[in-house]
Amino acid sequence: MAAASREEIACYPTIPSATLRGAGASLLLYGVILHGVPAARADVSDAGRQQFLTSCGTCHTTNRDEPPRQGPNLATVFGRRVATLPEYEYSAALRGGNWVWNETTLDPWIENAQAAHPGTVMNYRQADPDKRRLIIEYLKSIKEASREL
Ligand code: HEC
């Protein structure tokens, strides 16, 4: 035992300090992955959900079994092709569209729906990029959560 620890001590100076710093960094990263991220994600989702309810909730629900409101149900919209819910009557501006809703397509849409897809009946604009990001992350997170069910 004593011999082993002497050997360990003797080994330390031969480990380049960069390696030690690297090891420290990956330990730190581990800590973030194991503990930090789930907490951070929960915060984002809560803030995102609030922002969604405030900005979109009058016209959209994300409760899976709820019928559409003025706009279609968005529970599974992230990663979904545009205008594909059979129970919702989309406008011609979206019907026959050929894109998938993701970060790239949602951002200009909620920044200014009528500019992004002229003729749509969604009359909505959100100028604040942070609010848009929160909403998009929320839609992504509920889609991912539903996949895990
Ligand atoms: C004033 C009501 C209203 C608000 C507020 C609103 N929407 Fe909409 N939304 C609609 C309507 C109506 C449609 C259908 C548009 C069409 O058919 O042209 C729609 C369609 C959509 C679609 C297309 C879904 C699909 O199945 O292809 C997405 C995505 C969407 N809205 C996201 C949002 C998000 C995110 C917000 C909040 C930032 C929001 N909307 C705010 C009314 C609204």
Q: How do residues 93-105 score in pLDDT, each as one tens digit?
A: 999 899 999 999 9
For residue 140 and ligand 1, the question of a CB distance below 6 A is answered with no
Predicted confidence band of residue 9 (pLDDT cuts 50, 70, 90): very low
Q: How do residues 135-145 score in pLDDT, each as one tens digit?
A: 999 999 998 87
For residue 19 and ligand 1, the question of a CB distance below 6 A is answered with no
Q: At residue 1, what is the residue type?
A: M
Q: Which atom of ligand 1 is nearest to the CA of 91?
A: 17
Predicted confidence band of residue 2 (pLDDT cuts 50, 70, 90): very low
For residue 56 and ligand 1, the question of a CB distance below 6 A is answered with yes
Summary mean pLDDT of the chain: 81
For residue 58 and ligand 1, the question of a CB distance below 6 A is answered with yes
**What separation in Å is there between the alpha carbon of 23 and the centre of ligand 1?**
48
Tell me which residue has tokens 């604009």: 125
Neighbours of 107 (CB within 10 A): 16
pTM of structure? 0.77
Q: How do residues 42-75 score in pLDDT, each as one tens digit?
A: 565 699 999 999 999 999 999 999 999 999 999 9
Where along the chain do its domains lie?
A: 46-148
Average pLDDT of 122-141?
97
Which are the contacts of 115, defined by CB distance < 8 A and separation ≥ 6?
A: 108
For residue 77 and ligand 1, the question of a CB distance below 6 A is answered with yes
3-state secondary structure of 125: strand
CATH says 46-148 is which class?
Answer: mainly alpha
What does the alpha-carbon distance between residue 51 and residue 29 come to, in Å, rounded to a whole number?
A: 30
